[in-house]
Amino acid sequence: MNLRNWYERGVLFACLLCFASGAIAQSPISLTRNECVGRYDLALPGAVDVALSTRESLHGGVKDPIRFSDGQRAQHSRFIYDGGFVITHDVTRDFYEGYVAPFKKLTADTDSQDANSFGPYRIGLAGATAWIGKKSLGFVAYKAGRIYSYTDTGYPDLTDAKRHFGKISGNFSSRALYEIPTGPGVCLPYAFVADNDQDSNRQVGVTFRLIDHPDVTVLFLDAKAQSTDPKLTARQKNEFVWGYDYGTGKQIKLHGVMPYHSVTLDSREGVGTSATITRDDGSTDFGYLATVQGDPNASADTPDLLLLVERTAANAKGNPPVSVEAINEIGKAISASIRRRPSSH
């Protein structure tokens, strides 16, 4: 075989190897879908699945209550906005009616005029069953095949409770995936709560999974900075997430001699890192992490932000797992797309 043939075969082998290592990395990342999380908009590289609450989590006490429809865990997702939301995958109307029946009976059997009791409460959300009391308040609604359940601890002053409840229930609406509201408020999966940019507790973290590359998940978290939070810099938060907080694997090896680099999310400077993840079973994966430090003392809402793009090769489902280069490019592209939603000010 002459030198030319050896060269051609070498080029062909190299191309095949590149493809097998993740063809998504061979061209610039194209962000084709827009979605919103918390008070932020972001762009995603293709169609996605969204991790939602399991049916079992409607009754509480479930480990990893937010998952994809096939059971894959999304243990870092959370739907907290001045109370807690449970948002399910598609369920039938019969399932919903069976779930809500005890609430309807309980509220029907209670005297709503007794301020000390747990009683029914009329809200503007069509078809919802709602209750209010000193210990708890909440509603359950069925929209577009999903159950939306909201609860919060009660308020000693019933007037305050009604004011708070009206703010949430009166401004709540369901929405389609990729449907971006135009006004200020907080986006939850398949839901939106309009507001005037004011809240006391917000931790909205949503995990997406790329449909074309199911080994890739994207978590974005918008968490209101609290004065009681540990005083961590963006780098310290980055270190904590890799080392302790998220439990991504038994060993994390950051890439590069100087692994911490500057990253910008919505014009705010933070810290980005990429890593090789050794799972508990010894398998190897990759991740990209960007963290931005919040400021509870700022005059404007300045939350903690976190973006984690992670490969789990075991979920590739027959397709070649994406490469480390692809994970990094996806992370950088999404980071650059993150923007604060419109404000009422």
**Beta-sheet pairing, 268-278 with 146-153:** unpaired
Residue 321 makes CB contacts below 8 A (sequence gap 6+) with 22, 215, 311, 313
Per-residue pLDDT, 121: 85
| C-alpha distances in Å from residue 137, one per residue of 120, 165, 166 | 9, 8, 11
**Residue 322 included in any domain:** yes
Q: Which is nearest to 259 in space by CA: 341, 210, 209, 328?
A: 328
Q: Which is nearest to 128 in space by CA: 164, 183, 168, 187?
A: 168
Average pLDDT over residues 14-24: 39
Instruction: Return the percentage of the chain with pLDDT > 70, whole number.
Output: 87
**Residue 200 included in any domain:** yes
**Residue 100 included in any domain:** no
**Residue 313 included in any domain:** yes
Res. 115 pLDDT band, cuts 50 70 90:
very low
Per-residue pLDDT, 220: 98
Q: How far is it, in rounded angstroms, from Cα 292 to Cα 275?
A: 18
For residue 243, the domain's CATH number is 3.40.1000.10
**Residue 205 included in any domain:** yes
Res. 76 pLDDT band, cuts 50 70 90:
very high
Domain of residue 77: give its range: 31-82+176-340
* 181, burial (CB in 10 Å: exposed 0-12, middle 13-18, buried 19+): middle
- DSSP single-letter state for residue 38: B
Write out the two tokens for 125: 């959300």
**Beta-sheet pairing, 172-174 with 33-37:** unpaired
**Residue 24 included in any domain:** no
CB environment 74-104: b (16+ within 10 A), e (fewer): bebbbbbbbbbbbbbbebeeebbeebbeebe
Bigger pLDDT: 77 vs 157 = 77
Q: How far is it, in rounded angstroms, from Cα 82 to Cα 298?
A: 20
**Residue 265 included in any domain:** yes
Q: Which is nearest to 145 in space by CA: 92, 212, 218, 81?
A: 92
**Residue 289 included in any domain:** yes
Q: Could you give the number of structural domains in the chain? A: 1
Instruction: Return the percentage of the chain with pLDDT > 90, whole number.
Output: 70
Average pLDDT over residues 211-234: 95
Per-residue pLDDT, 27: 53
Q: Is the pLDDT of residue 26 over 70?
A: no
Q: Is the pLDDT of residue 272 over 80?
A: yes
* Site of tokens 């790329």: 210
Res. 317 pLDDT band, cuts 50 70 90:
confident
**Is there a contact between 309 and 334 (Cβ–Cβ < 8 Å)?**
yes
